Amino acid sequence: MRTLVSVILPLTKPGLVAVGLYAFILAWNDYQYALIMTSSSSTRTVQIGIAQVLESMGAQNWGGILAAGVLAVVPVVVLFALAQRYLIQGLSAGAVRN
């Protein structure tokens, strides 16, 4: 367990952060599978909720569409800003040869 915590985990942290961030972005932006596989409104993604609200308005409200899009993107941008160092380390770890 000590080897795992002191050796393996620090070496794999950039790769795990890169994979985790990529998986989060794919899950956050998912529209088609979330539309097909969810039935209750409490389990749907943000994009499905935005589409439902805009459909209920009837007319195209471009200001509302853009505001909702910005609010949907903010968590991804904040998470990327916090994990950028690990993401770059994880993506470039295999490209450098010692």
Please report whether residue 84 resides in a domain. Answer: yes
Please report whether residue 46 resides in a domain. Answer: yes
Number of domains composing the chain: 1
95 band by pLDDT with thresholds 50, 70 and 90? low
Please report whether residue 24 resides in a domain. Answer: yes
Please report whether residue 5 resides in a domain. Answer: no
Distance CA 77, CA 72 (A): 10
Whole-Å CA distances, 97 to 57, 74, 91, 92, 93: 56, 36, 14, 10, 9
Please report whether residue 6 resides in a domain. Answer: no
Q: Is 83 exposed, middle or buried (0-12, 13-18, 19+ CB in 10 A)?
A: middle
Q: Which domain holds residue 31?
A: 11-92
Give per-residue pLDDT as tens, 41-69.
Answer: 788 888 888 888 877 877 777 888 888 88
Q: Is the pLDDT of residue 37 over 80?
A: yes
Please report whether residue 40 resides in a domain. Answer: yes
Amino acid at residue number 1: M
Q: pTM, whole model, 2 decimals? A: 0.62
